[in-house]
Amino acid sequence: MNEDVSRVIFSEQELADRVAEMGAAITRDYAPVADEGIVMVSVLRGAAIFMADLARAIELPIEMDYMAVSSYGNGAKSSGVVRILKDLSSEITGRHVIIAEDILDSGLTLQYLMKNLQSRKPASLEVATLLRKKTRAQADIRCRYTGFECPDEFIVGYGLDYAERYRNLPYIGVLKPELYQ
């Protein structure tokens, strides 16, 4: 798999350091409301690795839950059609919800998800995204916690995939274009 990556953008150590910083910020920001209940929601499958590491970096009681949504299929670009494949198991009404997202690309999926979760009346709803792509046509989404800005290239690793491959790379790198074009 390593030979399919043209270059590494964020190393394993850079990812670990930044996730630890994000966890410390969440711990600081949510300490006053921790007794009200904090639910971290991972968007499967890509964000599962990020959320697991982020959860370990937060020094507060949290509940972890998962949603599966689809807008990509096996393609390299979002289809724009969002489907919920697996909904939350937890009740989030009156609780503080943090969406752990792997990457904010077009933002269409996250925008849909935020609207859906907001309709369930959480006490607060914030986004912690590991990566935010620099794209011109991105939905206007405020991320309270952002790990890194990244180039508008097709990237894989640390949960990010192409056709369900490369998620287990410990770093984030650029996939060679000939593999997905």
Which of helix, strand or coil describes residue 69? strand
Identify the pLDDT of residue 137.
75
Length of the chain: 181
Binning the chain into helix, strand and coil, the percentages to the nearest 5 are: 30, 35, 40
Q: Does 75 have pLDDT greater than 90?
A: no
Q: Hey, which residues does 156 pair with through a beta bridge?
A: 173
- Domains delineated in the chain: 13-150 (3.40.50.2020)
Average pLDDT over residues 86-111: 93
**Could you report the per-residue pLDDT of 33-54, keeping only the tens digit for each?**
999 989 999 988 889 999 999 9
Encoding tokens for residue 170?
């410990």
136 pLDDT tier (thresholds 50, 70, 90)? confident
Q: Tell me which of 2-11, 104-113, 168-177 is least confident.
A: 104-113
Give the largest Cα separation in the chain, rounded. 50
Residue 16 phi/psi, 5° resolution?
Answer: -60, -45
Active-site residues: which are they? 105
Identify the pLDDT of residue 64.
97
Identify the pLDDT of residue 78.
55
Identify the pLDDT of residue 72.
56
Which of helix, strand or coil describes residue 90? coil
How far is 129 from 100, CA to CA, in rounded Å? 6
- Angle (nearest 5°) at CA 92 between 65 and 97: 70
Report the predicted TM-score, pTM, of the whole model to 2 decimal places: 0.90
Q: Does 158 have pLDDT greater than 90?
A: yes
How far is 54 from 58, CA to CA, in rounded Å? 7
Average pLDDT over residues 87-91: 95
How far is 13 from 22, CA to CA, in rounded Å? 14
| Residue 94: count of CB within 10 angstroms of its CB | 12
Q: Does 60 have pLDDT greater than 90?
A: yes
How far is 95 from 166, CA to CA, in rounded Å? 34
